[in-house]
Structure 1
Amino acid sequence: MIQESRNKKAAINTSRTRAEKAKAQVEYTEVNRQVKKSTRTDKRKYVEYLAMTAEKAVREENMKQLYDTIKKLSGHHSKPERPVKSKEGKVVTNIEEQQNRWVEHFKELLNRPAPLNPPNIEAAPTDLTIDVRPPAFKEISMAIRQIKSDKAVRPNNFPAKALKADVAANARILHILFNKVWDEEQVPTDWIE
């Protein structure tokens, strides 16, 4: 439909007589009206879809999805990413080429020869004290509070909200568990991944 509108516009510009131009103008106006109507309908459907997505996110208490959907609805978009450029300064558009360029960049950046004059760092005059005690109840409580609410704690997808529902009780349980692991010096096999 958009291409048809463009063709009608071109017909207006290439018409030779006033009658041809008037006829082309009428046809263009009609097609253009249909394009605008179709655009409005599509936009309305898209906004309704986003609203339904936001409502679903609220029901599921998925704040991240809700925030992202509201951001789309409000029309505030972040700045576009800066383009990846080759060594010659040309913009690389192919995704595979961009990835290869990043690999090349970081190989150059990180794989350097050792410095000729390494710095002379003296050993500490005394041994540093390192706390080797099991984690304290306060540390566990603080760690639970710092977990992002919209994230699942990997690898078992245990919801963060469940841990945060009763921080004290969960911290007590985890404190007992961690002390047992610490004393036995044996990590459960299902923890290792």
Structure 2
Amino acid sequence: MSFTQLDYHWFQLINQLGNTIPALNPIMRLLASYAEYVFYIGIVIYWFTRHDLKRRMIAESLLSACVAVAFSGILAHFFYRDRPFVTHNVIQLIAHPANASFPSDHAIGAFVIATSIWIHRRKEGKLWLVLAAGIAFSRIWTGIHYPSDVIGGAVIGIAAAVLIHQLFKRSSLALTWLNKCIHCYEAVESKIWRRNVSPQSSVNEL
């Protein structure tokens, strides 16, 4: 059995669960379409706790995501593959454009953020990794990705997060640059915050 045949075999096994266990289809639709927003909300919450380590963690995750998505675009261009619903009869539970299937950008985004959190906050990071795995699995269940798409995306996301973290861990110059960027943002944020609070303070004094 070739790799392509094996990939399709496992896709069929997972995708057919939509018929075997239809009660889980709404959950899989939710994970495949909307669970990524939990990561975005998490990023905002971590960032606005105004904790230095959390802000460094989020800065690393966003930079890692940019690197991973750029690499994904290159791979998609040179190793283009149609989505399962284009080539085969599948149980497609959510609508999706017929664009490049490999690698899965959803898996990349979920795993790059989850891994960045796990590196800095192991206990919380495990929960984020479970959610990332759920998103990846749901993309196969709903018929829009092959297993190798999400595995490839997960590997890219994890690798990008680890490499960027190691860059800042081993390079004092890179870490200094990152801290300066964060401090510049905080200075701007502080000015905006004071500007918004000052008129209200004046009204209260009157």
What is the TM-score of this pair, normalised by structure 1? 0.23
Richer in helix (by share): 2
- Higher-Rg member (1/2): 1
More relative contact order in 1 or in 2 (CA 8 Å, sep 6+)? 2
Structure whose residues are more often strand by fraction: 1
- The two structures have a TM-score, normalised by structure 2, of 0.22
